[in-house]
A and B are shown apart, each in its own frame.
Chain A
Amino acid sequence: MRIIKFLLFALLTAGLFHVMEFGVGPLPALGKFLSPFSGFWQNAESKNAKIPATLELEGLLEDVKVVFDDRMVPHIFAKNEHDLFFAQGYITASHRLWQMEFQTHFAAGRISEIVGEKAIDLDRMQRRKGLLYAAELTVEAFERDSLANSILQAYSDGVNAYIKSLNYKHLPLEYKLLNYKPEPWSKLKSALLLKYMADMLTGNSNDIELSNAVALLGYEVTELIYPDFPDSLIDPIIPRDVVFNQATAKLDTPAVPGLGIQIPIEPEKISENIGSNNWAVNGNKTATGAPILCNDPHLQLNLPSIWYEVQLSTPQFNVYGVSLPGAPAVIIGFNNEIAWGVTNGTQDVKDWYKVKFKDASRKEYLFDGTWKQTTVRIEEIKIKGKKPFYDTVVYTHFGPVVYDASLTKDTSAINLAARWTGLEPSNELMTFYYLNRAKNYTDYLRAIETFQCPGQNFVFASASGDIAIWQQGKFPLKWPKQGKYVMDGSSSIYQWQGYIPQAENPHVLNPSRNFVSSANQHPTDATYPYYYNGFFEFYRNRRINERLAMMQKITVEDMMKLQNDNFNLQAAESLPLMLKLLGDVTEGAEYIEILEKWNYMNDALAEAPAIYEEWFAHLDSLIWDELHIQGKMIEIPQEFYTIWMMHNYPHHSIFDIKSTTDNVETLEDLIQLSFHKTQKSLNYWKEVHKENLTWYNYKSTSVQHLARLIPFSQTNIQIGGNKRIVNACDSRWGPSWRMIVSLEKPVKAYGVYPGGQSGNPGSPYYTTGIEKWSKGEYFTLNFMQHAEEISSGMTQQILKHK
Chain B
Amino acid sequence: MKLIVKIILIAALCIAGLMFFPWYTIMAVPFVLNLFIKTNGAGAFFSGFVPVAIIWLIQSILIHTSTEGILTSKIASVLPLGGSAGALIVLTALLGGISAGLAGYTGNALRNIIISPNKKKKSRYGRPDYMYRS
Chain A residues proximal to chain B, CB less than 8 Å:
2-3, 5-6, 9-10, 12-13, 16-17, 20-21, 27, 30-32, 34-47, 168, 173, 177, 709-712, 761-764
Contacts and interface: CB of A to CB of B under 8 A. Distances in A.
A761 B74 contact: yes
B67 A46 contact: yes
A16 B91 CA distance: 15
Contact of B22 (A10, A16, A168): A168
Interface stretch (B2-10, B97-105, B123-131): B97-105
B84 interface: no
Given A41-B60, A168-B22, A177-B78, A9 B102 contact: yes
A762 B70 contact: yes
Contact of A32 (B22, B75, B83): B22
Contacts of B74: 711-712, 761-762
A45 B70 CA distance: 8
Nearest to A28: B79
Contacts of B110: 6, 10
A356 B26 CA distance: 64
A13 B106 contact: yes
A29 to B, nearest CB: 9
B56 interface: yes
Interface in B49-101: 56, 59-60, 62-64, 66-68, 70-75, 77-79, 83, 91-92, 95-96, 98-99
B71 A13 contact: no
B121 to A, nearest CB: 15
B22 to A, nearest CB: 7
A31 to B, nearest CB: 5
Contacts of B22: 32, 35, 38, 168
A20 B95 contact: yes
A55 B66 CA distance: 25
B85 to A, nearest CB: 11
Contacts of A21: 24
A30 B68 contact: no
B103 A13 contact: yes
10 contacts: A2-B109, A2-B113, A5-B112, A10-B109, A16-B98, A35-B18, A41-B71, A43-B71, A44-B63, A711-B75
Given A16-B98, A16-B99, A34-B96, A10 B71 contact: no
Interface string B10-32: 00000000110011101100010
Interface-centre pick from B18, B64, B73, B74 (highest chain A CB count, 10 A): B74
Nearest to B92: A34
A115 B70 CA distance: 26
A767 to B, nearest CB: 11
Interface of B is mostly: helix
A210 to B, nearest CB: 43
The 8 closest A-B pairs by CB, nearest first: A762-B71, A711-B77, A35-B23, A36-B59, A6-B109, A44-B67, A37-B18, A44-B71
Given A16-B102, A31-B23, A177-B78, A40 B109 contact: no
B106 A10 contact: yes
B92 A47 contact: no
A763 B70 contact: yes
Contacts of B91: 34
A36 B113 contact: no
Contacts, number: 116
A37 B71 contact: no
Interface of B: 18-19, 22-24, 26-27, 31, 56, 59-60, 62-64, 66-68, 70-75, 77-79, 83, 91-92, 95-96, 98-99, 102-103, 105-106, 109-110, 112-113
Nearest to A711: B77
Contact of B71 (A31, A35, A40, A709): A40
B105 A9 contact: yes
A729 B65 CA distance: 36
Contacts of A16: 98-99, 102
Nearest to B105: A9
Given A32-B22, A34-B91, 14 more contacts: A2-B113, A3-B113, A5-B112, A9-B109, A20-B24, A35-B18, A37-B18, A38-B22, A39-B23, A45-B67, A47-B67, A709-B78, A762-B71, A762-B74
Contacts of A38: 18, 22-23
Nearest to A47: B68
Nearest to A15: B102
Contacts of A173: 71
Contacts of A762: 67, 70-71, 74
A12 B71 contact: no
Nearest to B91: A34
Nearest to B45: A9
A710 B77 contact: yes
B83 A31 contact: no
Contacts of A20: 23-24, 95, 99
A34 B78 contact: no
A258 B62 CA distance: 68
Given A3-B113, A13-B27, A39-B23, A34 B106 contact: no
A458 B13 CA distance: 62
A39 B18 CA distance: 11
B30 to A, nearest CB: 10
B63 A32 contact: no
Contact of A31 (B72, B78, B99, B112): B99
Contacts of B66: 46
A761 B66 CA distance: 16
Interface-centre pick from B56, B66, B78 (highest chain A CB count, 10 A): B78
Contacts of B95: 20, 30-31, 34
Contacts of B109: 2, 5-6, 9-10
B106 A17 contact: no
Given A17-B99, A41-B59, A761 B71 contact: yes
A703 to B, nearest CB: 14
B24 A31 contact: yes
Contacts of A763: 70
A587 B122 CA distance: 94
A35 B105 contact: no
Contacts of A17: 24, 27, 99, 103
Contacts of B102: 9, 12-13, 16
A396 B102 CA distance: 62
A35 B98 CA distance: 13
Contacts of A710: 77
A41 to B, nearest CB: 5
A4 to B, nearest CB: 10
Contact of A44 (B24, B72, B83, B98): B72
Contacts of A2: 109, 112-113
Nearest to B57: A36
Nearest to B117: A2
Contacts of A32: 22-23
Nearest to B14: A37
Contacts of B75: 40, 711
A167 to B, nearest CB: 9
Contacts of A5: 109, 112
Given A16-B99, A711-B83, A761-B71, A37 B59 contact: yes
A173 B64 CA distance: 16
B111 to A, nearest CB: 9
Contacts of B56: 34-36
A462 to B, nearest CB: 43
A700 to B, nearest CB: 18
Contacts of B105: 9, 13
A37 to B, nearest CB: 4
A37 B19 contact: yes
A38 B22 CA distance: 7
A21 B103 CA distance: 14
A6 B112 contact: yes
Contacts of B59: 36-37, 41
